[in-house]
Chain A
């Protein structure tokens, strides 16, 4: 393989196909010789695949709040008012609204991602409002799958405020049920509280690169 000038003329897909092709066979051969004769290794799945939970919504709200996210649990009729009040408290006027977000949740002056907002433009808005694909009660996790009302991954990353609306029927008790509901072909973002770090003396501090404020509205 040649080292190449700053711009390698070959298509990127071909890089590494020289020695790499040999390495592929070499690695596979080494693996086969290393495990030759080893017994098969069966897998026992005796863990809980659908944890019992009496109050899944309550547990979800409690666990999300544990990450120091702001959580509201409201009836469907109160959702729009809760969203507006949250925005007012946050001082957020210009929110990005992805395609497919139910109209009653959208703010009065939505910022659309069409044409695609640049990263700099995303950095300049007040926040983003989305729905989600799945909520996990035991871990207080929200999963976005870039589906309707969620948009591409950068939308919930660059802005500093993320307001997320979760429907009660999207909440499952534990991780196994969530994995079963999700489609691996879609890009997924699992969110558990606001951006945080444990890098300073191993204590959790909220707010590094992702949204520093995560506000969750659970609609019963």
Chain B
């Protein structure tokens, strides 16, 4: 399952990605899914004449909120409390898990239904609850696929994007019975039939479970309102039917005013599923319709990110996953290669900031990009992901050989005369360059020829011919 701890100790990104690239089924699934969503997103974004202005407002509202995060969190706490809810503060994953487990135990229940939530995946809540004898049932179709398949999520919005319909059918047939109602005998791999199987499997669970755990897409400081966007109705089931609702939300999910939703309810659906609006959005303020409501505010490294002047823009993220869907590296490497619940370009800047860069996987993430800029262009809150990647590259520890190589290159470039001498040396040795290079440079010649080295550099030609005049 998808605990935060599960990923640690993973090999570095290039190793994981190389394995993924060899998996032709995975590459086919990813390509099909990412290209489908890219097209849909482009179409609905193109429909809005004021997309650039909405994007600017989205960026600025988030920056403003982050600048005054302390003030707005206090305002939120006051509003939620006034509306009958309870607010808890958690510095880290352990504390958040402890709070949720105790809240569930206080109800006397031993199971919870869950709405898909990145924050609870980040802190490994399901595993922590399991240790306390509480079973967490994921109810989002993709999360169900991941949970039944004993798999890891590989996408922010579509955690089972790496699976195609035939694989999903197999998982349902083999595993549903272990968790509850079995899959129908004659299950086909038609998406409609698969969705129906999930409906039947989960319905009795929804009707009987008394505690639900959710995240939230937005929290409104001014009113104490929480907002969840979803598609299937599993979110509504969890938010409305149980007697107790516990929402675990990162502190950066805040918006100052109710009005700010007019921006984000346009930016998020179009950027994520490529729809004008997602099928269901629920908003609630405090204890609603007789329900007991708890809000757990989660830091878990976010205040460290906030302290980095360049890196803090990652906290604007609204988890739409548009950057994943346009990323050529994600498309080939898949989500698991990133070793985090946050894969793709946003994961490559968020994970090393939240977890630090001590492990091999975390130190390799800032390099998991060709800096092509497609993510920045697609980001609805204008996170300059390439800028943050480059910034983080400057902070990770480099291999000694690379440091020496870079220092040598810098030394050559410090004086044009040195560069000219190196060029002349290359020109003289050009016939002796092998087709396959040794060491790390073999990574180049494994699949590509090296260019022919010219007999004379441009600067030598310029000097010899007086800029072509002679």
Contacts and interface: CB of A to CB of B under 8 A. Distances in A.
Direct contact of A and B (CB under 8 A): yes
Contacts of B101: 3
Contacts of B354: none
A32 B68 CA distance: 8
A201 B32 contact: yes
SS of B interface (majority): helix
Nearest to B305: A34
B202 interface: yes
A3 B142 CA distance: 32
Interface in A167-191: 175-176, 178-180, 184-191
Interface residues of B, number: 112
B377 interface: no
Given A44-B56, A202-B37, A12 B225 contact: no
Contact of A209 (B53, B83, B234, B261): B234
A33 B282 contact: no
A54 interface: no
A199 B145 contact: yes
A140 B66 CA distance: 32
A23 B90 contact: yes
A198 B195 CA distance: 10
Contact of B262 (A5, A34, A49): A49
Contact of A201 (B110, B165, B195, B265): B165
A123 interface: yes
Interface residues of A, number: 90
Interface in A95-141: 119-120, 123, 136, 138-141
A189 B70 contact: no
B95 A205 contact: no
Given A23-B89, A42-B60, A47-B263, A207 B53 contact: no
Given A4-B102, A187-B289, 17 more contacts: A15-B106, A19-B95, A27-B251, A35-B69, A40-B67, A41-B66, A41-B67, A43-B60, A46-B50, A48-B50, A146-B289, A154-B240, A180-B259, A185-B223, A192-B275, A199-B141, A202-B36
Interface of B: 29, 32-34, 36-37, 49-50, 53-54, 56-57, 60-61, 63-64, 66-70, 73-74, 83, 86, 88-91, 95, 98-99, 101-103, 105-108, 110, 132-133, 139-142, 145, 157-158, 160-161, 164-165, 168, 191-192, 194-196, 198-199, 202-203, 206-207, 220, 223, 225, 231-234, 236-237, 239-241, 244, 251, 258-259, 261-263, 265-266, 269, 273, 275-285, 288-289, 292, 294, 296-297, 299, 303-304, 306-307, 309, 312
